[in-house]
Structure 1
Amino acid sequence: MRDLADPGLFEAGGQYEAWRWWREHDPVHRHERGFWSVTRYADVDRVLRDHPSFAGERGTSPGHADPAAGREPAATGPTGPDRARAALRKVMGMRPAGSYEPSLIAAITGLLAPGLDEQSFDLAAAVRGLPLALAGPLLGLPRADWPYLSGLAMAAGAEDDPGHRIGDAAPGTPRRAHRELSAYFLPLVRERARTPGEDLVSLMVSDAGGRMDPETAVAGCRDLLLGASVTLPDAASSTVYELARTGSYRAWADRPDLLRTGVEEALRWASPGSHFMRHTTRPVRLSGVDVPAGEPVVAWIGSANRDAAVFPDPDAFDPERTPNRHLAFGDEPYHCAGSHLARLTLRLFFATLFATFADVAVAAEPVRVRSTFLTGFKELIISGTPRRGR
């Protein structure tokens, strides 16, 4: 089974073999659902970079109506949303990333605490707390609201998984999740405009931050939360599973000098957010295949990041891998505005994990998310060996 539009393929972990087959045999092909599927690194990179030929304003997700179409900064091209992305980058650069470290370390320590009694615990459930550990203090969100927001963020990206749906039908889940997130953030933005605090939302609506209009600020808040919710849990859980499965945890845990290169490898390996969709604005040729204008093109980032033409031994996790020009955060002009904070969070997560546990083991058969977009786990039961002296 090689149908890349089938969430069951991803739920079974079969996407890697399917991507390999498509890269080797038919790297650019038209799916029966009406979109073009692109699997090689060079082609995926072009789809993400070449905005004049590939536009994102008409939606970024195949098979479902995309509520981010023309709205979310991370999902569209250099038009209005791109100006929002530039404003968001400016605001995020107004404070040093290191200022967030103490709260992140404290939150990560708390997420890993259930494993300190040498009992098994659900790492997948624990790392679902990472996005709000970052976005909560960053945006000044009340801690009591974190579980609600976390649920909406998962629903926005995993509508095919019954455990994350809102209501009974999959197609309406992302739209409803986006609508509820907007309804949550709009009063918050207006409140910060009246009574500024020390958070990023207050900067967004301040003179120093360019005084974003409410709609742009709300889109920025959604973009940050959803980006963190896609990247952080999946990169963490997928990597820990691979380290435990292959018995290579200690090899990286005992090498703190490899933390930065290892995090880049975790992003390549997991490729959270496995695809983006663009629409051709003119006829283009990819790997010798002519694609007409006006066609949806799905760029499989997860496949590009396993392309042996770019990454030697691509199915091996190598924390020393360099160079490592993965596409986990997309590419310009679509590069994730919060990528530096995601990298910081993952470095702190793995540093804290390695300082907490000398080794980890998988304690039960894991359960993957049923989604063609998200690549992580719904349940990953692990047991850890606490380091002496903790």
Structure 2
Amino acid sequence: MTVFPRLFSRLLYLALLLLGASGVMAVPTEEVFSRYKDRIVQVRILDVAAGTRVGYGSGFAATQADRIVTNFHVIAPMIHAPDHHRIELQQVDGRSMGAELVGFDAVRDLAVLRPSQPLAGFFPIAEGDPPKGMRLFSFGVPNDLDFTIVEGTYNGLIGNSLYDRIHFTGAINSGMSGGPVIDGDGRIVGVNVATESNSVGFLVPGADVRRLLAQPVKPPSHWRDQLRDQLLAHQEKVMAPLIGRPLPGYDLGRYRLPGRFAQYLRCWADARRRDTEPFQVVSQLCHNEDAIFVSDSLMSGQIRFRHDLLEAPKLDRFRFARLYQRYLETGEADLGGDQDEVGNFVCQQNFVQSRGPKLKAVLCLRGYRRLTGLYDLFLRVASLDRHDEGMVSTLVISGVSYRNAMAFSKHYLEQVQWKR
């Protein structure tokens, strides 16, 4: 009479071990792949004349079988040269089909395609955020090898960002861009977008996918104009609050300089002090990590600035002047872009003195050739009031309107003051 209760208790105990915290049996990874593999594709961008691939990524059917979601950076050649490229989708069983671009959100790195034939199924989009630590599954074609599933965990939204990104602890590799990340019930949590290796990956949230899919299908012409309009709207949203309020200060030696003026900027301090050198340099560097992919050689939306304080009390004024001049001539905007995309920097320099030290300012702008109305900004400011000390501040912003470039440059210069 006692054997059955004991056996029942043991079976119940084993069953509880197999249950997840939610009370649902954990789905084996191989079952997840088998169940959903027909909803994912490899996205290939082909050169029309040569018939060869110029790029590839991953994609998936979302909310309906004839809408394929991928990353904007995967299909970017279709924006810049649509007549020279075409899209091909390859399914897990080897079959291929064509597709057309029907919409994109370059700021959030998403695009929507319409395949020539619907897929066998589609993923719904999850409502709300999963609990931190929840097991997720990422699909894609890493390094053009084969369709792959990667198990990882949800670790919430990353902080200090212009727009939401999910921290996914799992191996996202090149070629998996645009692939889906789902929960055990097959609901979209996010889209593969970037990695910092060591199983640190980033996802576009499913909510951004839902918003893009809710937009009407766009006509297949004037994609470049739509890209320009999206970038102009984005920079206006970013720059308007910065221009409209005083910038926080940062004390460096005798100077009061612009400090971390937005939460999405990350800042570091550094110092170069060596007994073998007759000078020292103390620096602060701040930049954002929300750059927007425009092409393989050009990123927009970058903001960074750097302050350097050079002190050389052991040098005479002539040796310091030579050292200071060499320092001023080093460093560039380093913003990429080829001659078909951007023009040359056009620079003006002037001497400035308001409430702070006497300054030499060099302001440089270059325009985007294909995306008219957008510019890259390079501003360098140097103090001129000491023969044994110098302060150099450098500001770089990519993809900004002319009006905002000039307004923020003036605003930035006004914050260079003496420390009170």
TMscore range, shorter length: under 0.3
TM-score when normalising by structure 2 = 0.24
Q: Which has the higher helix share?
A: 1
Structure showing the higher strand proportion among its residues? 2
Higher alpha-carbon Rg: 2
Higher relative contact order (CA 8 A, sep 6+): 1
